[in-house]
Structure 1
Amino acid sequence: MKKKGIAIISLILLAIIAVVAGVKIKQNHQQNAIQEIQPVKVSASTVPTFFFHGWGSSWHAEDTMAQAIKKAGATNTIVRVNVARNGKAKLIGKIKKNAKNPLVEVNFADHKLTRYQHAGQYAHAYDTAGARYVKNAIDLVRNKYHYQHINIVAHSMGNLEVASYIKMNATKKIFPKINHLVAMAGHYDGIVGENDKPNQVKINKKTGKPSIMRPEFRNLLSLRKVFPRETKVLNIYGNLEDGTNSDGDVSNASAQSLKYLINGRAKSYRELMIRGKGGQHSRLHNNAQVNRALVNFLWK
């Protein structure tokens, strides 16, 4: 009887484990599934939109957004550019002449820039490596298809790499016209748990000026003089509404500090706060509300 009791208890435990595992798998599947949006009518253009991922990530993070946009009918073309650690860029796929709002998913092999840090700061890494990777990816596609105008969508560290790219190249004649720039979860002035704390930085609502300027932010101050005047900017950030005023990794103030860097330069500037669980840092690039915002901002 004792053995029988143990066997029954074991079966019950296994059943519980199976149920819990099944729920977990279902939740992960739901989180990773493409957050589809309703089909939309948009203006058709040949202007490519480049997607840049964040720290430790890859083109896979961009693909959920890209596929949702394609399923909604806003594009018919998705290609990828792989950038090796030495900076060499390689195009995977082709953009046809009749391509509608083509999307370019950029993948960085060196997705942490660890060896380019200087004195524990990433400002040096963004300038020496990140900006170069961004430039090489954009130049490869532009030189092949002769685009004069582009759009950019960046997430997390991708924003800092893009910002350094603009800072270092905006005054050059060969610099492309950036029609639209979407910044998602950009940690322009610190990362929670590293060099920032929840509610530590305060933002001047009128100018966007932060109460604390960390090294990475100060490194971008020259954007106030060179940021392209023809560029429309949409700044998307998340608020978990748990009292931290952050997406778990980036404080709202750190993301909002972008306004100060482009204030008086950008053609337009808008902010979109994603509230609740969907505003978590990594969920922002797989969020139906974000996908709708991208489509409306880029092509309507």
Structure 2
Amino acid sequence: MKNISNTTRNVMIIIITVLCVIVAILILKANANNKMSNNNTHIPTFYLHGYAGTGNSMKLLVNSAHESTNVKDVVRAKVSKEGMVTFDGDIHFNAKRPVVDIILEDNTNKDLTKNAQWIRNAIIATMTQYHFEKFNFVAHSMGNQSFSYYMLNYGNDQHLPRLNKQVSLAGNFNGEVDINGLDLDVTLNNKGKPNLMLKDYKDLLTMKQRYPKDAQVLNIYGDINDGTQSDGRVTNVSSKALEYLLGDRIASYETFKVTGAKAEHSELHDNQIVIDKINAFLWEKSR
């Protein structure tokens, strides 16, 4: 009887031990899944206007993001000429996919290094009220040049969140129609490398090393079909030259061409086809 009792006790101990191990594994797995879910959904998306842009510039894009993703947290980050950031609105600490619309007070400043600092300030200010490790960025026109300088100067800063997805809209990387782009007769090879490079473009050639290898980029440009192969301001080859600046460093790179009257430079961010494409790129695969 004593031996039977000892055997039973040993069996019970083994059963309890196995159950404890199973429970521990389940808890660890649940925590890992929750952490992965938080990492996928706690990703803010920043929007930045172009030259002389205002709070209305990216309004339709921001509003559509709010509607299509059921985002409740949409704020404006206003950056003063001195680089001070103030918010209109608050982001809940547990918000999913919040939207931050960056508005630069000095909206005609062509100092791209300074603009990159203002983007950095807006991101850091957002970090004070919302924890995130990755972010998305959508920029129009000169906002893309400013963001390029952000990536060049701060893209590998370990104290800052990493880029997740980027949308370049009407980016002018290597010349404009009414300034120099058309006159240069620029062509691209099969890797997007221009046969002629402006100084601002050459300055960005090392930018690719600052990009995370898992980053994804969508490059949208317009052609108004007037013979200039441009959106009326930026040549298509100038926008498409982004490819060579990124090379094969990142996880994915996609171009999207829009044609017609609504493909005009200042119309692109209000084009419904463009809006739908951007929203699908940013969030459909993340849901």
Q: TM-score, normalised by structure 1?
A: 0.78
Q: 2:70 & 2:186 partners in 1: Cα distance?
A: 38
1:231 to 179, 193, 215: 215
The CA distance in 2 between the partners of 1:167 and 1:187, in whole Å, is 16
Equivalence for 2:133: 148
Contact 1:159 1:183 in 2 (8 A): yes
Q: Please, which moves more after superposition, 210-219 or 249-258?
A: 210-219
Q: Quick one: which of 192, 202, 214 aligns to 1:208?
A: 192
Other structure's SS at 1:285 match: helix
Structure 2 Cα separation of the partners of residues 106 and 291 of structure 1:
18
The alignment's C-alpha RMSD in Å is 1.7
Aligned residue for 2:203?
A: 219
Conserved 8 A contact 2:92-2:130: no
On the 8 A contact 1:189/1:217 being kept in 2, the answer is yes
Contact residue 47 and residue 137 of structure 2 kept, 8 A? yes
Which 4+ residue blocks in structure 1 deviate beyond 3 angstroms?
none
Which secondary structure does the structure 1 equivalent of 2:58 belong to? helix
Taking the aligned partners of 2:42 and 2:134, their CA distance within structure 1 comes to: 9
Q: Say which of 242, 249, 258 aligns to 2:242.
A: 258
- Judging changes above 3 Å, is the alpha-carbon distance between structure 1 residues 291 and 74 closer, same or farther for their aligned structure 2 residues? farther
Provide Cα deviations, 1:92-120, integer angstroms capped at 9, x if missing partner. 2011244332110000001111xxxxxxx
Take 1:199 and 1:237, find their aligned partners in 2: how far apart are those partners? 19
Aligned length: 246
Name the counterpart of 2:261: 277
> Quick one: distance in 2 between partners of 1:56 and 1:247?
18
- Whether the 8 Å CA contact 2:216–2:251 is kept in 1: the answer is yes
1:83 and 2:68 equivalent? Answer: no
Distance 2:178 2:100 in 1: 32
| Matched residue SS, 1:220 | coil
User: What is the TM-score when the length of structure 2 is the normalising length?
Assistant: 0.82
Residue 163 of structure 2 corresponds to which residue in structure 1? 178
1-structure distance, mates of 2:95, 2:211: 29
Q: 1:191 aligns with which of 171, 176, 179?
A: 176
My pick for the range that moved more, 217-226 or 69-78, is 69-78
Specify every segment of 5 or more residues in structure 2 that has no aligned partner in the other structure, as ranges: 1-39
In structure 2, which of residues 141, 145, 151 is the aligned counterpart of residue 160 of structure 1?
145
Give how far 1:182 is off: 0.3
Match of 2:266, SS state, is helix
CA distance in 2, matches of 1:228, 1:201: 29
Where do 1:84-163 residues align within 5 Å? 84-113=80-109, 122=110, 125-127=111-113, 129-163=114-148
- Return the offset for 1:226: 2.3
Between 1:206-215 and 1:158-167, the stretch displaced more is 206-215
Q: Is the 8 A contact 1:220 1:261 kept in 2?
A: yes
Instruction: Name the CA distance, whole Å, in 2 between partners of 1:77 and 1:225.
Output: 33
Q: Alignment partner of 1:282: what SS?
A: coil
Q: Could you tell me whether the CA contact under 8 Å between 1:49 and 1:153 is conserved in 2?
A: yes
1:165-213 Cα offsets, whole Å, 9 max, x none, are 0100122211311110000001000111112217821111x21101110
Per the alignment, in what secondary structure is the counterpart of residue 269 of structure 2? Answer: coil
SS at match of 2:238: helix
Q: Determine the C-alpha separation between the residues in 2 that align with 1:71 and 1:144.
A: 23
Q: Which has the larger radius of gyration?
A: 2
| Residues 71, 83 of structure 1: alpha-carbon distance in 2 compared, 3 angstrom cutoff | same
What percentage of aligned pairs have identical amino acids? 33
Q: Distance in 1 between matches of 2:274 and 2:71?
A: 16
